Amino acid sequence: MITVWMRNHLWRAADYGYVETWGGARKARESMIGDSRQDRGASLVEFALVAPLLILLLLGMVEFGWLFAQNLDVRHGAREGARLAAVNFPEGPEPNSGVRSDANRDALVAEICGRMQTPANADVNITSTGAVSDAATVIVTTPGETLTGFIDFLIPSPLNLNSTVQIRLEQAATWTNTAGAQSCP
């Protein structure tokens, strides 16, 4: 019974390139896969060479995604601001009195900033003549900030994210133009 098992086992081992003796099978297996002690050291050196590049690639993807999300937020703020300007936000009696005023402009800028997710350093610039069907221009600008700071050497130093949207006014504007860029409150 044992002889039959050994014969079958050795015969199967021969299919995989092993020789028919136990000592020969071990030597053939070591020559096929290499000595494990030397391989462990070589694998460690290879990993030490490749790991920094993989970490840099991973952090680069994270930073790119973070900057992309900030850029989308700036574009969203400019689109929302243009739409609010077109429909003459803010509505109602206070602070909207029907005449162009700085209070309405401040309420409009605050609403634009409130609709953005990261308005901390954002600047808003709104210009228009105020008449119906005239164009209103909303510009939102914010500095791009990295998340980890690990790959700042690859990103241009003053990275400003900005978006400009121009829209026709549907109602007469009751807000005044901003004098330059107005910071978010």
Per-residue pLDDT tens over the stretch 108-123:
999 999 999 988 889 9
pLDDT at 86: 93
Instruction: Please indicate, yes or no, whether residues 9 and 76 belong to a single structural domain of this protein.
Output: no
Higher pLDDT, 101 or 28: 101
* Mean of all residue pLDDT scores within the chain: 81
Q: Which domain holds residue 22?
A: 2-27
Number of folded domains in the chain? Answer: 2
pLDDT (mean) for 164-174: 92
33 located within any domain: no
**Residue 16: predicted pLDDT:** 55
Residue 25's pLDDT is 53
In a domain, 96, yes or no: yes
Domain-embedded: residue 32: no
| Shared-domain flag, residues 86 and 158 | yes
Q: Do 15 and 86 have their domain in common?
A: no
Distance of CA 132 to the CA centre of its chain: 38
Domain identity same for 128 and 73: yes
CB 178 within 8 A of CB 126: yes
Same domain for 148 and 123, yes or no, is yes
- Would the pLDDT of 51 be above 90? yes
pLDDT at 161: 94
Higher pLDDT, 31 or 46: 46
Is 130 in the same domain as 99?
yes
Mean pLDDT value of segment 167-176: 90
Q: Do 20 and 107 reside in the same domain of the chain?
A: no
Q: Which residues contact 26 (CB under 8 A, 6 or more apart)?
A: none
The pLDDT value recorded for residue 15 is: 54
> CB–CB of 135/166 below 8 Å?
yes
**Does 61 reside within a domain?**
yes
> Higher-confidence residue: 127 or 43?
127
90 assigned to some structural domain: yes
Instruction: Check residue 29 and give its pLDDT.
Output: 54
Task: Please check whether residue 91 lies inside any domain of the structure.
Answer: yes
- Any domain includes 66: yes
Interval 48-64 mean pLDDT: 93
Tell me, yes or no, whether 69 and 17 share the same domain.
no
* Residue 141 located in a structural domain: yes
